[in-house]
Amino acid sequence: TDIFKMFDVLFTTFFAVELLVNAFSYWYTEFVTDGWNWFDLLVVFISTLSLALDHTVGFRSLRLVRAVRVIRVVRRLPHPP
């Protein structure tokens, strides 16, 4: 389970850095008007909260919500024309 915890922290950090780079690379209006950016923000927030409160009984269910990160990866794949 230590390897999974390490990957969880690694991917959460990667997605958080990616979100920050995205936020600073666009002007504020462009960033907050895009629904995908709000989705990214929600996923990163839940992932961070879940890592911080990992040993709290009520927050263990947040691990399931973190599976939504897969949608973030899929949306970045090139779509056929």
Chain segment 57-67, per-residue pLDDT in tens: 666 666 666 66
Q: Kindly state the average pLDDT of the residues 14-23.
A: 88
pLDDT band of residue 17 (cuts 50, 70, 90) is very high
The C-alpha R_g of the chain, in whole angstroms, comes to: 14
Residue 13 has pLDDT above 80, yes or no: yes
Q: How far is the C-alpha of 69 from the C-alpha of 11, rounded, in Å?
A: 9
Q: Is the dihedral of CA 5, 6, 8, 9 positive or negative?
A: positive
**What confidence score (pLDDT) does residue 23 get?**
86
Q: How far is the C-alpha of 33 from the C-alpha of 25, rounded, in Å?
A: 14
Q: Kindly state the average pLDDT of the residues 27-36.
A: 82
Q: Kindly state the average pLDDT of the residues 17-44.
A: 84
Residue 50 has pLDDT above 70, yes or no: yes
Residue 49 has pLDDT above 70, yes or no: yes
Q: Residue 27 region, left (φ>0) first, then alpha (ψ -120 to 50), else beta?
A: beta
Give Cα 33 to chain centroid, integer Å: 18
